[in-house]
Each structure stands twice: as C-alpha cells, then as structure tokens.
A and B are shown apart, each in its own frame.
Chain A
Amino acid sequence: MLTLSLILIPLIAGIVSLSTKNNSAKQLALAGSIIELGLAIFIFTQFQANASAQFSFSYPWIKSAGILFAGAIDGISLLLVMLTAFLTPLIILSTFRQPYKNASAFYALILFMQSALMGVFTATDAFLFYLFFEAALIPIYFLAAVWGGENRIKVTFKFFVYTIFGSLFMLVALVYLYYQTTGTQGHTSEITAFYKLALDAQKQGWIFWAFFIAFAIKMPVFPFHTWQPDTYTESPTPATMLLAGIMLKMGVYGVIRFILPIVPLGLQTWGTTAIVLSVIGIVYGSIIAIQQRDMKRLIAYSSFAHVGLMSAGVFSQTLSGVQGALIQMLAHGINVVGLFFIVEIIFSRTKTRNIEQLGGITQRTPNLTVYFMILMLGSVALPLTNGFVGEFLLLKGVYESNIWLGAIAGTTIILGAVYMLRLFQKSMFGNKTSFTEHFADLSFSERAVLVPLVVMVFWMGLYPNSFLKLTEPAVSNLLQMIHY
C-alpha cells in the first residue's frame, strides 16, 4: 500500500493542481511533493536492508493475459525512489521566482512525471514497467515542448520519436519473453518469472540488443545520444533537471533490472561492446564539453559523459560496478540538478549563458560561489564529496572487467576537472562584465534549494555506507542470478 501511495500521491496532487488557478498551483505542487518526500523518508526508515522486495502490492489487472498491477521496493528501487522524492520538491521550489505561463498545467505535468517515475522504479510486472516507462515521456515532452526555447518543437520532437522508437524494441522483447513463461494459468509477465527463463545464446543475443537500444537511448550511450544536448538546452530548466536528474536513471535502472539477470549469455557476447560504446561516450562527451561556451550545453555534455561511466560500470557485471552505478545515480542526480539550477540563477540575472560574457560573480555573491564550488567539486569527484564514492567504485568495476577500458574510462576524472574548473573560473572569477555588474544576491527560495543539495553532497561523500549498505544485498542477489 505504501508503494502504491508513492505513485498515487503525485498523481492526485497533479490532478488537483491542474484544476486550480495559477498562483495556488505552485504551492499545491510543492505541498504534494513534500508529502511524497515524507512518505519516502518513512519507507526509508522502515526498510529492512536485505535482498527481499518489501512493501509490495499486487492486483490483477488484465486477467485474460495474466498481467498484474504490481509493485514493490527492494534496495535498488529504494535508492531511486528516494532520489525522485528528494529532487522533485527542490525542482518545484527552484521555479518559485520564475513565472511560468499556464502554471497549473506546468506543475501538474511535473507531478505526473514524478508519478510515472515512481511507477517505473517500483513496478514488478514487466508490462507495468513498460507502461510507466513510456508514460513518463508524455509529461516531459509537453514540459519541454510548450515551455522550452526557440527550437523546442523540432528538438523535443526528435527526442520523443527517438525514445519511443527505442522502447518499442523493448516491447517486442517483453512480449517475446512473456510467451516463453509458463505460469499456473498460462503466461505471466512478472519480472521474476523472466529471471527464471533459460534461453539459448542466440535468442539472448537479440533480446539483449532490443533492451540495449531502448535503455541506451534513454541514458544516453554513444552513438544514441544525439537527441540529448539539444533537448537539455532547449527545455525549460525544471524539465532539464527532471531529464538529467531523474529520467536518464530509468535507462541505467532498466539495464540493472532487465539486461543483467535476463540475458546473461547475451551480455557475455555483447557486454564488452556495450562497455566500449559507453567508454567512447565518456571521452567523446568530455572533449566536447571542454569546448562549449553555453553553460547549459556544457553540463549537458558532462552529464552524457557521466552516464557513460555508469553504464560501463553496470555492464561490467561486478559488485562494485553496479553498486557504484547506483550510488553515482544518486550523486549525479543531486549534482546535476544543483548545477542546472545555478545556471538558471545566473541566466535569470544576466540573460546570458555564454561563459565568455560572464565573470566576477564572486565579487557580487560569495554565497553562490560557495554553493557552486561544492557542487562542482562533487561533480568532478573530489574525495569527501558524493561524486568520489561512485566514480571510484565504477572505475574499480570497469577495471576488474577490463584493464584497458578501465584506464581509458579513468580519463573522465582529468577531463571532468578540465571542463568544470574552466566553467567555474570563467564565470565566477576574473573581472566583472557588463552582464554581471548588477548581480543580485541569492533569494531565500534559491537558498532553500541549494542547501539541501549541498548537505547531501557531504553526507554521501563522508558517509556513503548509509546508502551502500541498503543496496548491497539486493545487488549481490541480482549478480548471483547471472548464471551462464
């Protein structure tokens, strides 16, 4: 019941705020997301750190086909549920100074998105997972396409078609797997039933690709990333935060949940290819990020590079690789949302995102500089910040699987430092420019967004065990299931 409430609360809050007048929608959405956060924290405290799925619910949904409306939370789900519940109120809060036209629809869509994401991370029925996976796309499409920048129509449409195209392949794989299962009353679509299937290597090969394309587009992994930088740049910042902070994690989560346990033989054949593609993404994304002038675009490419490392870690099929990916999903979500928010703060005051035109902001607002610096250092994986733990584990995992690839993936730390420090230096230090001359200090609501993020950066950096121990049993259980 608790799990179901996670899906329902934002849905109901969204419907209610849709029917309110513009001004109250904002407060209502915030209230709804805070209630949701409270529930998530309650689940967090009640959660037993073992491999079993907890707080499960299950209702027959399409009886004739044996499809269930079922969900549960295990360690892996919990982390992502917490991430979603934590970031959404901050994303809503980050919009408080920004007037959005037709606000009630705007906030309702954010909440619908949250509801769908919760569904994705908790579904235990494959078709329900698929449904939420797709449903998450509709609110974000409208958020990006209605409230976005100049090229939004073309860019977001490419994004929409691209991701739907990928997911349809996953649908074929799911339908195929569904027909391979045998339950007491015909076929079943429970994910755990898929784990028990032992398909031959050739079949696993094509199922691997069907899943891989779907998740690789979502994450995105090279060469499926072409939709990403444009979409991130053209979307309104709250939508970008949702995309980068939470939505791309659906891809990584899908790999952990579906590819690892269901097609181990496919993974054996194609896993290295997947890691190579991910590693190419890391280096390629970082190099492009170094050359960007637009702050938003720079962070978009950095996000592409970071997710490449997560994907490489998961495909390494090692405990530290998967654990690292999970912790990095959390860390990256926090950092990237913070960074995009800082870009938005700078943009809203200076009307430019070009780092060549910025400079000297430190002199105006030392506060912002400190927050920015902490988030930036988290992003470049300085020890004692959240980014370090994940990146260390990920690199260890990739290294265990292939030394050379591990070494190349390791360049992410150097390249990351290059583009992030350059961004920080050019925008914060140096002389004031005509754009930054009258840079106002942070407002209360802006601080309210940044402080929790910074607290999390340190909590995860100093005491990562509080998160690692939650996921460990579930991850090792999952890895044990990978039998060739």
Chain B
Amino acid sequence: MLPIVLLSILGLVVLFLGFQKSKNLLLPATLLVLAIVLVANFLHWNDTPSLYFKNMLFENKFTMAFSGIVIFSAFLIVALTRGFVDDESAQPAEYYTLMLFSLVGAVMMIGFENLIMLFVGIEILSVSMFILTGSDKKNLRSNEAALKYFLMGAFATGIMLFGMALLYGATGSFNLTAIKGYVMVNNAPSAMLYVGLLMLLIGMLFKVSAAPFHFWTPDVYDGAPTIFTTYMSTIVKTAGFAAIYRLLSGSFSGIYSFWWMTLAVITVLTLLAGNITAVYQTSFKRMMAYSSISHAGYLLLSLTALTNQSQSAIVFYSLAYSIATISAFGVLMLVAKETGVHSYENAERFEAFNGLGKKNPLLAFVLTVSMLSLAGIPLTAGFWGKFFVFSSAADRGLTWMLVIAILMSTVGIYYYFKAIIAAYMREGELGAIKVSPFYRLILIATTIITLVFGLMPDFLKGLV
C-alpha cells in the first residue's frame, strides 16, 4: 500500500512547490514522484497477497498490475503536459497535485476489500476529475462539461451508495470476503441483495461510461481540456474496470446466473451505442469519446464471461487501450495547437490531420499505430487485447455476443481509419510541427510499447 502513502505525501510536496517562483520545477518533480511510486508499487510483487489497514485494502499481483497501469499512464500523460507553459491562466501545481491525489483514489478502487474504500476511492477520483474538467475557466464548453459531469456524477454516487447500503442490509457486512461468504452460504439470498448489487453496478458502470449510462461521456470528453480527457479516458476507466472485476469475481461469482444476463445486455448496448455513434462524428475528439465507450463494451464482454482468463485479459486490454489512447491524444494536442488554439471546433476535426504524413512522418506514424491498435489490427497490442477478450467469451460459450462484438469491431475500423486516411491520403496545409525532444520521446515510447506487445504479448500476459 506504499503507493497510496507516497502519492498522498508527495502530492502535498508538489502542491507546496507551487509556491516557488519557478514553475519549471513542477513537471520534473511530478514525474519523479510518479516514477518513485511506480517502482514502489512493484516492490512487493513476489509477496503473498495480503490485507492492509484493518482489512480495508487488498494487494496481490492483479491489483499491483492494475495500479502499475494507472500510474504508468499517469506518468505518460503528465509528461505530455509540457508544464502547461502555453497556457497563462493555468495553475500547474494544482493540476499536478490533483492528478496525484486522484491516483490515490484509483489505487484504492483497484485494491478495495471493503465497500467503504471503494466509495472513498471513487469519490477521490471523481471530485478531482470534476475540477480538472472545468479547469479551462474561460472556456464555456469546459465549464458546461464540468457542471454536467458533476451533476451526473452526483446522481450516480447516490445510486451507488444506496446499493451499498442495501448490500449491507442483506449481508451485514461491507467486506468483500464476508459478502462472498454470505452469497455462498445462502442458497436463496434476499431480494435486497439483488437490488443492492444492481444499484451498485449501475453506479460503477456510469463511471466507466457503459450504455445506457454513457450520455455524459461525449460532452464531457469533448469539453474538457484534451490532456484531462486523456486522463479520464484511460485512468478512470482502467480503475473502474478493475473495481468491477474485483467486485464481481470477489463477491458475486456465486450468483453468476443472476447478473450475467443483465451485464450481457449492457455489454451489447454499449458496443452498439459506442461504435455506431462514433461513425457519425466529425470531431476526432468526440470520436475518441465514443470509441472509449466502445472499448468499455469489449472490456465488459470479458467481465460477462468471467472465466479464469478474464483477469489477464482485462489487464492486457486496459494497458493496450490506455497506451494507444495516450498516443492518439498526444498527437491531437500537437496538431490542434498548430491548426488553431482559438477555434476548438476546427482544430479537433478529422480534417486537422490532413497532410500530416507528408511533413510530420513521425507524428503520422504514431497516430497510425495507435489507431491500428484501437481498431484491433494484428501486430499491435490492441489486437491481442481483443483476442484475449474474445477468447474468454468463446471459452464461456457466448457466441452470439462474440458475433456482435466482431461486427462492431469491423465498424470500428471505419472510424479509426478516418484519421489514418486524413493523415496520409489527403492534402493539407499542415507545416512541420515542432515537437520538443521529451514529447517526442514519450510518443515514440508509447508506439514502441504498442508494437512490442503486439509482437510479444506473452511478455505481459504471463505475469498476471
């Protein structure tokens, strides 16, 4: 549980660094903090799974792998912020601190053993996100997005808390293992348990933007500054899925027959809503929002199957998805800045990438690899992510869902390729974009990771 402690303390240090005159110190300091936390996270890798803080938090290879993914993603995203030097009204110290604190919430969500910890974790993460979404104070879109996110999030929290209360009423405990014991012993659990589980699930599915609880996603993703959109679509989602997996496999695998159909319907709805609506988007950023919904669908597919492989499938998928998303948004931020900071509407359309391949071959290549990975084309990590997810579903015999998922991934190719086509096959006036060496390094790193996991998926798959 070192990461939680370190993130809390070092987060405060970064906040106080903000009082210094030199703001240039903040970015390296935050990166250093994240690097330390990342190392600390894996210190206990080979230890036996153990409980912390009076059985409130749990730690094993799965939770460490997931914490590793969110911390690593945060590292990459922070590296892409360039210290917020371009934005005069930015308050970097606060942003960085909020990011670090929100990670505390993410790690709690991943390692919760007690529902109270889950709640606290979700709230820490969400409140940070509400603020960061609205951080572009002078931009109306950003303000609207923050308000929307906050109101919807508050409702979801309410429903989720109600669910937890009902679960407590039914089982007499907030503890995952205790609930599991209750489910195992009681052949006919009370209706309260069922309703409680459903409400808890609804609250959490809202956070990972699964249909039909996804309506906030496009507006919020679109309105938030791109860097925080990246943060939201990777870290919030990853932590959310880890939490749902821990909940379902840890406590409710005994009543699989009760919840699987519900989750199956939600999965199919999510796949359809995400993929089909993404086709109609003219804004790349909005497309990425819908794409993020669709990826929630694939992850849910593996959760619905809940076989022995689901765990490693989810880990792999989350990493592949996060890295590719960071690549894509990284390129978008550069291009959008080049084509016009002041007119967001045009800067984030697919047309913004026109002619990218000619003058900026590296950026075009990074974008292409990330799009191929998100579309699930072989030789990228995304392909194996989909492969493992599909194969866990096949193992459970969910053929009809598999067919829908496959049809939807074909639809996915359509919108991801719009970006590739714009970059390579359309003429544009885009000049050579200046990319700072560090930024370039991060983009190259994400691309290499995507390709390496595309060629050697076992590298990660064998670990968890």
Interface residues of A in 92-149 (CB under 8 A from B): 130-131, 134-135, 138, 142, 145-146
User: Are A138 and B377 in touch, CB under 8 angstroms?
Assistant: yes
* Shortest Cβ distance from B406 into A: residue: A168
Interface presence of B462 (CB below 8 A) = yes
A161 and B414 in contact, given A146-B425, A169-B406 (Cβ under 8 angstroms): yes
Closest residue of A by beta carbon distance from B384: A62
Contact-size category for B: 20 to 34
Asked if B462 contacts A168 (CB within 8 A), the reply is no
Which of B93-101, B184-192, B213-221, B387-395 faces chain A?
B387-395
A439 at the interface (CB under 8 A from B): no
Q: Which residues of A contact B391 (CB under 8 A)?
A: 65, 175, 178-179
The closest CB in chain B to the CB of A167 belongs to: B378
Given contacts A63-B462, A64-B458, A131-B378, whether A146 and B424 have CB atoms under 8 Å apart is yes
Determine how close the nearest CB of chain B comes to the CB of A42; give it in whole angstroms: 28
Q: How large is the interface on A (under 10, 10 to 19, 20 to 34, 35 or more residues)?
A: 20 to 34
Flag if B461 contacts A65 (CB, 8 Å). Answer: yes
Query: Are B395 and A168 in contact, CB atoms less than 8 angstroms apart?
Result: no
Stretch at the interface among A31-39, A152-160, A248-256: A152-160
Pick the residue among B372, B394, B425 that contacts A145 (CB under 8 A): B425
A176 within 8 A of partner (CB): yes
Q: Are A64 and B461 in contact (CB under 8 A)?
A: yes
**A178 to chain B: closest CB distance in Å?**
8
Chain B positions 374-411 with a Cβ under 8 Å from a chain A Cβ: 377-379, 383, 387, 390-391, 394-395, 399, 402-403, 406, 409-410
A171 to B457, CA, bound (A): 17
* Complex interface residues of chain A between 176 and 202 (CB less than 8 A to chain B): 176, 178-179
| Min C-beta distance of A22 to chain B, whole Å | 13
Q: Across the interface, do A160 and B390 meet the contact criterion of CB distance under 8 Å?
A: no
Chain B interface mostly helix, strand, loop or mixed?
helix
Q: Contacts A135-B379, A169-B406; is A62 near B417 (CB within 8 Å)? A: no
Chain B residue contacts of A138, Cβ below 8 A: 372, 377, 379
Say whether chain A's binding surface is mostly helix, strand, loop, or mixed. Answer: helix
**Contact B424 A172, beta carbon cutoff 8 Å:** no
The reply to whether the CB of A270 lies closer than 8 angstroms to some CB of chain B is: no
Report yes or no: B417 in contact with A160, Cβ–Cβ below 8 A. yes
**Complex Cα distance A172/B394, Å?**
8
Report the Cα distance A146→B424, complex, angstroms.
7
Please, which residues of chain B bring their CB within 8 A of the CB of A61?
Answer: 456, 458
Contact: B457 with A135, CB < 8 Å?
no
A-B contact pairs, 14 of them (CB 8 A): A62-B457, A64-B312, A64-B462, A142-B424, A145-B421, A153-B426, A160-B417, A161-B410, A161-B417, A164-B410, A168-B409, A168-B410, A172-B394, A172-B406
CB neighbors of A among B418-464 (8 A): 421, 424-426, 456-458, 461-462
**B312-330 CB contact bits vs A (8 Å, 1 = yes)?**
1000000000000000000
Once the chains bind, are A157 and B458 in contact (CB under 8 Å)? no
Give the nearest-CB partner of B358 in chain A: A102
Interface residues of B in 271-323 (CB under 8 A from A): 312
The distance from the CB of A68 to the nearest CB of chain B, in whole angstroms, is 11
Are A172 and B402 in contact (CB-based, < 8 A)? yes
Closest 4 CB pairs of A and B: A134-B378, A62-B458, A165-B410, A168-B406
Decide: A131 and B390 in contact? CB cutoff 8 A.
no
